[in-house]
A = this chain, B = another copy of it.
Amino acid sequence: MAHFFREKLKEKGLKVTPQRVAIYEAIVNLKNHPTAENVIEYVKTNHPNISVGTVYKVLDSLVENELLKKVKTEKDIMRYDAVLSNHHHLYCTETERIEDYEDENLNEMISNYFKNKKIKNFKVQDIKLQITGKFNK
C-alpha cells in the first residue's frame, strides 16, 4: 500500500520518514482533496507530536516531486490530491466537496479536438475540466 510511495521517495532521493508516509496516507484515505489542516488533524491521531510546519513542508515537497498535486479552487486554502492519473473535478456549488471524475472518452474527445485546433502562441501541456454543479442528496 505505502510501498509504492516509499519507492517513489527513494527514486526522488527523499528520505523515507514516518511523517512523510503518514501525510501521504492521510491524503489517500481522506479523499475529498483535503486541506493541510485536514491532514494535520488526521495525522495527529497516530503522530500526536507532528509539527504543523512539517506538514506544510512535506506537502510542498511532495507536490514539487510530483507525488501529490494541488487542486485549483477559489479559496485561499490549499487542497491536495493523491490521484495522479489524468482526471477532472466535480465542484459542488454549495459545499466544499470536490470529487474526482474520470472519463476516458472525454479525454480522447478533447485530445482529438486540440490535435487540429491549435491555440496561437500557446503550447498545451495539460487540460482539466472544472465541472461545477450540485451533488444529489
Contact = CB atoms under 8 A, between A and B. Distances in A.
Interface of A: 70-74, 76-78, 90, 93, 99, 101, 103, 105-106, 109-110, 113, 117, 119, 121-137
Tell me what chain A mostly uses at the interface: helix, strand, loop, or mixed.
Answer: strand
A111 to B, nearest CB: 12
* Copies of this chain per assembly: 2
B106 A131 contact: no
Nearest to A78: B76
Contacts of A90: 119, 122
Given A74-B78, A127-B130, A130-B128, A135 B113 contact: no
Contacts of A127: 129-132
A82 to B, nearest CB: 16
Nearest to A77: B76
A26 to B, nearest CB: 20
Contact of A125 (B99, B134, B136): B134
A121 B137 CA distance: 8
9 contacts: A71-B74, A72-B74, A76-B76, A76-B77, A119-B131, A123-B136, A125-B133, A127-B129, A127-B130
